[in-house]
Structure 1
Amino acid sequence: MSYTFRAAGTPIWDPALRVGELYLGQAEAVAALLEVPSGLTPRQDGRCDLEPEEFGTFVQHLLRFYNRGHHAALSHLLRGVVLVSLVLLNRAGGHPVPHDGETLDALLTEATALDRTMSV
C-alpha cells in the first residue's frame, strides 16, 4: 500500500503508506510551528494533493528557519523534512528556492541524491 503525493493531479511521489503519512505529519507539524500553511492537503482516498505555490512558500519559510540553526537537535529533526520538501517542490515545478550560500548548496546536492531514491 502506498500514499501518493500529487501536484495538479499528477503523481510526484508514491512512497509506502507509513513513509507518506510520516512525512505529511512532520510537514504539518513544522507548518504549524512556522505558522504558515504547508500546501499539502490529505485526501480521504489515501492521496495527498500538493499546491506548488503554497508549498513553495512553506519551503522558503522552512529553509529560513532551518538556516537559523539555533538548536542542534532541532536542525537534525528538520533535515529530513527539508530534503524531502526540496525534492517535492522540484518535482511539482514550484518556484526555485532563492539561493543563499553553502548551506543551500549542500542541501540541494543531498536532495538531488535523495530524489533518485524516491519512487514516482
Structure 2
Amino acid sequence: MQQQERQSTPPVLPGQTAAEAVPERPQPLTPDTIPDPPPAPRAADDTSALTAEEAADYAACEKAIDHYSQATWMYGKALQALQAIRDARYYRQEFPCGLYAAARDHRRADRADGVRH
C-alpha cells in the first residue's frame, strides 16, 4: 500500500487569513539578483545607517554566500560519491569490463544532445 504524503499547513494567527499564513516560497538565486560592487569602497569609519536599497543588496549578498556554501558542500559530496562508485565498483554489473567513466561520459554527451537513457 502506498502511503500518502501529508502536507502540513502553517498555523493561521489571529487577524490573519489562510492565504497570509502560507510561507513565501524562496526565490531562486540568479546572477541578476546579486548586486554589483560599488564603484569605490566606503570609508572604514562610515557608520551611517543602511538605506533600504543597501539593506536589500546586503540580504542578496548574504543569500549568495549561503548558496555558495551549500553548492560547495554538494560538490564535495558528489566527489565522495564518485570515489564510492570507483572503490566499491558499483558499476560492475552494468560495465563488467570496468569502463564506467567512459560510459558515464558517453551518457552525459548524449544528454547534452537531448538523448535520454
TM range (shorter): under 0.3
Structure richer in helix, relative to its length: 1
The structure that is strand-richer by fraction is 1
Structure 2 length-normalised TM = 0.26
TM-score of the superposition, structure 1-length normalised?
0.25
